[in-house]
Structure 1
Amino acid sequence: MAKAFASQGDMTEKKISFTEVGEGLYAFTAEGDPNSGVIIGDDSVMIVEAQATPRLANKVIDCVRSVTDKPISHVVLTHYHAVRVLGASAFNANQIIMSDTARGMVAERGQEDWDSEFQRFPRLFEGHESIPGLTWPTTTFNDKMTVYLGNRRVDLMHLGRAHTAGDIVAHVPDQNVMFTGDIVEYHSACYCGDGYFGDWGTTLDRIKAFDVDAIAPGRGDALVGQEMVNAAIENTRDFVDSTYAAAARVAARGGSLKEAWDAVREACDPKFADYAIYEHCLPFNVARAYDEARGIAHPRIWTDKRDVEMWEDLQS
């Protein structure tokens, strides 16, 4: 291909932050790299998002051990993407929880996603040799599931399609804090390559209706306070809508993928070019927006081969 994906040259190590977002609730963030969440219950700990490799997961565990010695009993995975799930084995949890839909996507496209993401963004797979294989849940649910960590209640919910078909959120009612996965981002580009542009806004509305006091987003800083929470939700909405609208106009007149790429850049570069992983996400976002606008309802499976073909098309 004419040049490498932007993310293939991104080898700068990111600074880790471990921010308390409520009593016994923490956001593990790393300047736009995938976040994890920590929910400390009476007797045990729940982790939200497992990182891409066991070695990276151990960085989360180190942070957990700085605040509690309680055992990790549950790992919740908000969706199926490799950078979120392949580190799960490091936690030695009793339960690994996904939505039914997310489990189905592991079966349908989990290996292809792993191969694709590893090729695109090698830095996020530090210690990849330690991955034992695809991560499968021990427990799944459809719309809602409640887990009790002693007296602490955690509601796991599928509020709608957005970043993927099987996205879930974790809400802790006693602190009114939510862990949203990649449905909400903060000063980081949304990855929309497996997304549902037409549904994403409605799902954001359902999150907003909880009027939460803090969010641990999928990427970017922890969101503490309703003003910051609402700003991030609306900024995420603007990112998704701006991407789709520009690509859809091109698709409606029968334009090419390359023309959609140019149109999205014109619409989004002035607002979002300085966001983390913006250049990495852009080609995949444009390709999915262009497909959806042309009536391809469900995201096509990304493979390492399709990635390269799409990128070469955009560089032609």
Structure 2
Amino acid sequence: MTKAFASAADMAEKTVSFTEIGPGLYAFTAEGDPNTGVIVGDDSVMIVEAQATPRLARKVIDCVRSVTDKPITHLVLTHYHAVRVLGASAYGAREIIMSDKAAAMVEERGLEDWQSEFERFPRLFRGHEEIPGLTRPTMTFSGRMSVYLGKRRIEIFTPGRAHTAGDAVVWVPDSEVMFTGDIVEYRSACYCGDGHFGDWPATLQAIAAYAPKAIAPGRGDALIGEEMVARALASTEDFIRSTYGPAARVAARGGSLKEAFAAVRAECDPKFADYAIYEHCLPFNVARAYDEARGIDTPRIWTAARDREMWAQLQE
């Protein structure tokens, strides 16, 4: 009998932290679960990442209300994944912002991703009955845009392909703080199933060029101070290269997906086995690395059926 995904057995509630990473800037983290950023402006609040359900979003809102009673007017979604966007309705934001590419990916693969992630992460989707449907933006941008929360200027831009083809980051120049979504992780595995391994290191370098004093990563603890930021950028790049290299070598000699899985595990286990969601991400990461190494530039759409098929192939 095929084993369940590693995440399917992870049903314990996580401890929430709400950390100030700059003046009026906060990171909502939960022991390796998806993070959310909070930006308090002069007259309103911007949220970065919505969480998987309205139930989880209300935990973020409770934290916001512990520091301000200003209205939540803007919600930035750095990419299209279900665990990041389907809690959007809880915030009542006037504007929901995505890159053009991320918005297109909602239409192309958003429903399939929702169904896939629902089976992978049952705990995160408790209370899923409240989700009104796919989350679509009210505003999109190409390249870069600015939003003003009173006098506080927020820059939103796409630094390059990485976790997905449409990744955006949020930069707060007055405090030199960045919200990176899943381009950067800290002591959490990168999910690369929809990623672009060849581009990811250059995208990390583009982020590093801003010399952030703090980062709210996609998963893991808030990164405060230039030394901690540098460590996280370096470990994220190491994770990407350590995953892609072995899989690419197996693909180049005509080896199988299962052989690639073993090669990646041999390289990554000694360094990353204790990272959050490592076991869960590994098969999806290897499948995507194997595809990219064979010239498949656009990640194939994950469906619940494809998830099970891939997982069964690796268990044979």
Aligned match of 1:166? 166
Taking the TM superposition and a 5 Å limit, the aligned residue runs for 1:62-77 are 62-77=62-77
CA RMSD for the aligned pairs? 0.5
Q: Name the TM-score, length of structure 2 as normaliser.
A: 1.00
1:59 is paired with a residue whose SS is: helix
Q: What's the CA shift string for 1:132-175, capped at 9, x where partnerless?
A: 00000000001000000001000000010000000000000000
SS of the equivalent of 2:117 reads: helix
What amino acid is the match of 1:256? S
Q: Deviations over 1:110-135 (max 9, x none)?
A: 00000000011111112111100000
User: For 1:239-284, what per-residue CA distance to the aligned partner results, in whole angstroms no more than 9, with x for missing partners?
Assistant: 0000000100100000000000000000000000000000010000
Match for residue 309 of structure 1? 309
Inter-partner Cα distance in structure 2 for 1:310 and 1:193 = 12
Q: How does 1:240-255 map to 2 (within 5 A)?
A: 240-255=240-255
Per the TM alignment, residue 100 of structure 1 is displaced from its structure 2 partner at its CA by: 0.2
CA–CA distance in structure 1, aligned partners of residues 123 and 270 of structure 2 = 27
The one-letter amino acid paired with 2:135 is T
Alpha-carbon separation, structure 1, partners of 2:120 and 2:217: 22
Q: Give the whole-Å Cα distance in 2 for the aligned partners of 1:219 and 1:47.
A: 16
Within-5 A mapping of 1:38-187: 38-187=38-187
1:210 maps to a residue whose letter is Y
Provide, for residues 207-249 of structure 1, a one-character-per-residue CA deviation record: whole Å limited to 9, x for no partner.
0000010000000000000000000000000000000001001
Instruction: Please identify runs of 4+ aligned residues in structure 1 that moved more than 4 A.
Output: none
Q: What residue identity is the alignment partner of 1:79?
A: H
- Residue 264 of structure 1 corresponds to 264
Paired residue total: 316
Q: Whole-Å Cα distance in 1 between the matches of residues 126 and 66 of structure 2? A: 22
Q: Distance in 2 between matches of 1:214 and 1:125?
A: 30
- What is the rounded CA distance, in whole Å, between the counterparts of 2:99 and 2:43 in structure 1? 25
1:52 is aligned with what amino acid? A
Per the alignment, residue 214 of structure 2 pairs with: 214
Alignment of 1:192-211 (within 5 A): 192-211=192-211
Unaligned runs of at least 5 residues, structure 2? none
CA–CA distance in 2 between the matches of 1:63 and 1:121? Answer: 23
Q: Within 1, Cα distance between the matches of 2:143 and 2:2?
A: 44
Q: Aligned partner of 2:30: which letter?
A: A
Q: CA offset at residue 12 of structure 1?
A: 1.3
Per-residue deviation, 1:15: 0.5
Aligned to 2:293: 293
SS of the residue aligned with 1:238?
helix
Cα distance in 2, alignment partners of residues 263 and 124 from structure 1: 31
TM normalised by structure 1 equals 1.00
Alignment-mate amino acid for residue 114 of structure 2: W
Structure 1 residue ranges without an equivalent (≥5): none
